[in-house]
Structure 1
Amino acid sequence: MFWGILISLFTINSTTQDLSFEEHVLSGYSTKQSFYVSLFIHSKDYSGRAIIPNGKLFIHWGKHNVTNQFKYRDAMKKIISTNSYYDVPENDISKIGFIKVDYDPTVIAYSNAGKFRFFNHFFRGQILDVEGLKHFPAITEQLFKLKIAIQRDSDTGWYIADTDVQKFLDIKNDISFYDLIRVK
């Protein structure tokens, strides 16, 4: 009996921990405040990386598919995890809520310098600062690669990273930061 309970608790705990980043990001359906999703899209006028709030993506998906939240989440997880394209039949992707992600050398440089430098430059705590707003699509893309969600707060308008930023600002955990200060 004891071992059965222990195995059940382990399974529940593993399942809870296995709630993937994609499931977390795809679980909010509000159009006012939901996490941004980064994915490849294909429309008549654009093929490439784009970001969109999950609530808007869910509404768009529902217009073209007979679905529910579970089918939507499963389909999106597959598209994201396999880097497949999400087909957008409309011409103007910005009217739906998609934002193109262009190559941004500034964001790439800070991302390559490590999480400490990246967060220190573009964020004040968990909040994206003014410098970060200039590079919002590329920053959101990098955060998505790091499995960090970001959303716009519906009350303040601030873009807030869904993470404990302190763990990224702990220089002992950031090898790239050590490489910058190491005396050779």
Structure 2
Amino acid sequence: MDISTDKKDFFLFAFIHPKSNFKGDIKIKVINNYNIDFKSVTTIFIEEDNILIPYKLKNIKRFNKNNLTLIIDDINTELKAHQLFSKKCFLPKRLLPERKGIDFYDFQVKGFVVIDKNKKKIGTIVEIIEKPFQSLMVVNTNLKEILIPIHQDIVLNVSHTKKEIQVELPNNFFNLF
């Protein structure tokens, strides 16, 4: 089985709890809940020394909304489990449900150009800040970085082929910065 472990093909979804009492399982904290069907996940990738290492799963259960319990092949001692504590867990991007319209995953739009409703370039997305009630695009305008809310009244169109996001900003928006 040829498994690519190029990080660009994966997304960060969890961290291994640093304080798990090892009883044959490991608890992980899900940080990005992308509505993944974890019942179909048979392998997770754990970052070790900046390399993604595949780990076969014997079992995966949802402990609560943001926590999963894993039983991993070959992790059968407390010492082995302890070596994984606080490590980042990744999954292949192909497991993500497809998003349509103006809905997108944050890693998909980094580097996209933001244009206004008249197709004038505003800047380039350098980061997405996810907050519980309002996510924001961090856009580099070459003069400064600005924050643009990700909201259906602001984001008009997302073109993955052109790598552009078209927005309609309120009047005097740039006077805020």
Q: Which has the higher contact order (CA 8 A, sep 6+)?
A: 1
TM range (shorter): under 0.3
Q: Which has the larger share of helix?
A: 1
TM-score by length of 2: 0.27
Greater C-alpha radius of gyration: 2
TM-score by length of 1: 0.27
Q: Which has the larger share of strand?
A: 2
